[in-house]
Amino acid sequence: MAALELRGVRKQFGEVVALRGLSLEVASGELVSLLGPSGCGKTTALRIIAGFEHPDGGELLVEGRDVTRIPANRRNMGMVFQAYSLFPNMTARENVEFGLKVRGQDRARRQRRADELLELVGLGGRAGRYPNELSGGQQQRVALARALAIEPAVLLLDEPLSALDAKVRLQLRQEIRDLQKRLGTTTVYVTHDQEEALSISDRVAVMSEGVLEQVGRPAEIYRDPRTPFVAEFVGTMNRLEGKLAGPTSVLVGEAGVPLTVQAGHERAPGEAVLVLIRPESIAVEEAASAAEVDSARARGSLGGRVLAFTFLGPVTRLVLDTDLGPLVADVPSIQALTYASGTLVSLRVDPAGTHLLGAG
Partner 1 sequence: MRSRAPAPSEPAQGTEPDATRGPALVAGPEPPRPRGAGRGARRKGRASAWRWLGVLPFFAYTTLFLLVPTIELIVKSFEGPKGSFSTANVSRLFSGEYLSAYATSVELSAITAAAGGLFGLFIAYGAVHGRLPAFIRPLLSTFSGVAANFAGIPLAFAFIATLGPTGVVTSLLNRAGLHIYNHGFTIFGMAGLSLTYIYFQFPLMILIISPTLEGLRAEWREAAQNLGATPAQYWRHVGLPLILPGLLGSTVLLFGNAFSAYATPYALTAGYINLVPVQIGAILQGNVTVPNPQLGDALAFGMIVIIAVAVTLYVLLQRRAARWLP
Give the residue with the Cβ less far from partner 1, 118 or 215: 118
Q: Does 16 bind partner 1 (CB under 8 A)?
A: no
CB of 88 to partner 1, least distance (A): 5
Q: Give the single-character DSSP code of 72.
A: G
Beta strands in the chain (DSSP E): 4-13, 16-26, 31-35, 57-62, 65-66, 77-80, 154-158, 187-191, 203-208, 211-216, 238-246, 249-252, 257-260, 272-277, 282-286, 302-311, 315-322, 325-332, 344-349, 354-358
CB of 144 to partner 1, least distance (A): 12
CB of 129 to partner 1, least distance (A): 10
CB of 175 to partner 1, least distance (A): 20
Q: Does 188 bind partner 1 (CB under 8 A)?
A: no
Site size toward partner 1 (CB under 8 A) is 32
Cβ contacts of 19 within 8 Å, gap of 6 or more: 9, 10, 11, 41, 44, 45, 48, 55, 210
Residue list 66-125, contact with partner 1 (CB under 8 A):
71-79, 81, 83, 85-90, 98-99, 101-103
Which of 273, 272, 284, 275 lies closest to 328 in space, CA to CA?
284
In Å, what is the CA distance from 313 to each residue of 12, 165, 320, 347? 43, 18, 19, 22
Give the residue with the Cβ less far from partner 1, 115 or 280: 115
- Binding string, residues 23-52; x marks residues near partner 1 by CB under 8 A: ---------------------------xxx
In Å, what is the CA distance from 137 to each residue of 40, 200, 267, 346? 27, 17, 49, 46
Q: Does 208 bind partner 1 (CB under 8 A)?
A: no
CB of 50 to partner 1, least distance (A): 6
Query: Other CB atoms closer than 10 Å to residue 333's CB: what's the count?
Result: 15
Q: How many angstroms separate the CA atoms of 118 and 47, rounded?
A: 26
CB of 187 to partner 1, least distance (A): 14
Residue list 212-231, contact with partner 1 (CB under 8 A):
none
Residue list 123-182, contact with partner 1 (CB under 8 A):
130-132, 143, 146-147, 150
- Binding string, residues 234-273; x marks residues near partner 1 by CB under 8 A: ----------------------------------------
In 192-303, alpha helices (H): 194-200, 218-223, 228-233, 290-298
Q: Give the single-character DSSP code of 83.
A: S
Give the residue with the Cβ less far from partner 1, 96 or 349: 96
Q: Which helix (H) or strand (E) element contains residue 174?
A: helix 166-183
Give the residue with the Cβ less far from partner 1, 73 or 338: 73
CB of 318 to partner 1, least distance (A): 43
> Where does this chain bind partner 1 (CB under 8 A)?
50-52, 71-79, 81, 83, 85-90, 98-99, 101-103, 130-132, 143, 146-147, 150
